[in-house]
């Protein structure tokens, strides 16, 4: 995404998307190590300095790059929201299985109200986030993507993923902190869903803008 019309009234109205060959002069790709989560997915930093962009590399319409990117986010944010729901569901499944097996003084910890209520709250959060994802995904599938709905789904599902994974660790206690029971991985993987494709704060900006526009 680069500025192709310096005379545009607002910078974003004069930006275009280009496909850039990774072997082109001026392109530098650096692998980044040591991530908190989603470690199976590689991460890198791309630096472009004085890179020549041939016209045939133009992706989409000229000076419409920002809008093309926003259109992409309408779908990709729903995908990240679905990722958040999946992480939360995985954490709940592990916590529920553990709570039904773990006994203290002959009593399963799932029979303790403090634990059962926490599990209930976890599933309430997950199902609420899941419905937001379904609605946002349905709108995309119908060819009527709603930026505010996509942002709602992502903001809520990301927060639910973090909260539910944290609750799962609490239920497992010390076991939740080690890799054997997987919930520590869910906890690490959850945080990125509040960051990429736009942070939760960005999602709130989008939601508020559409809300105020309707008002």
Please give the Cα distance from 149 to 95 (Å, whole number): 30
Kindly report the length of the chain: 215
Please give the Cα distance from 56 to 50 (Å, whole number): 18
Decide: 46 and 197 in contact? Cβ < 8 Å.
no
Please give the Cα distance from 4 to 25 (Å, whole number): 20
3-state secondary structure of 42: coil
Decide: 32 and 45 in contact? Cβ < 8 Å.
yes
User: Is 127 considered catalytic here?
Assistant: no
Token couple for 96: 């529920």
Please give the Cα distance from 210 to 99 (Å, whole number): 42
State the catalytic residue, choosing from 9, 28, 45, 197.
Answer: 197
Query: Where in the chain does DSSP place strands (E)?
Result: 2-3, 15-18, 27-31, 44-48, 58-59, 103-104, 107-108
Catalytic positions: 197
């Amino acid at each position: 995404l680069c500025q192709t019309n310096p005379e545009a009234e607002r910078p974003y109205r004069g930006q275009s998307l280009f496909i850039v060959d990774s072997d082109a002069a001026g392109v530098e790709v650096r692998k980044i190590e040591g991530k908190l989560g989603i470690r199976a997915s590689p991460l890198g930093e791309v630096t472009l300095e004085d890179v020549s962009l041939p016209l045939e590399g133009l992706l989409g319409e000229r000076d419409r790059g920002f809008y093309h990117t926003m259109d992409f986010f309408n779908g990709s944010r729903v995908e990240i929201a679905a990722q958040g729901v999946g992480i939360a569901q995985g954490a709940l499944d592990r916590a529920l299985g553990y709570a039904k097996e773990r006994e203290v003084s002959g009593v399963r910890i799932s029979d303790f109200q403090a634990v059962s209520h926490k599990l209930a709250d976890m599933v309430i959060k997950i199902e609420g986030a899941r419905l937001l994802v379904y609605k946002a995904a349905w709108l995309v599938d119908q060819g009527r993507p709603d930026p505010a709905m996509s942002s709602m789904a992502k903001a809520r599902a990301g927060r639910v993923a973090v909260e539910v994974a944290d609750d799962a660790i609490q239920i497992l206690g010390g076991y939740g902190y080690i890799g054997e029971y997987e919930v520590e991985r869910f906890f690490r993987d959850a945080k990125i869903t509040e960051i990429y494709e736009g942070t939760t704060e960005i999602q709130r900006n989008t939601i508020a803008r559409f809300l105020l526009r309707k008002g």
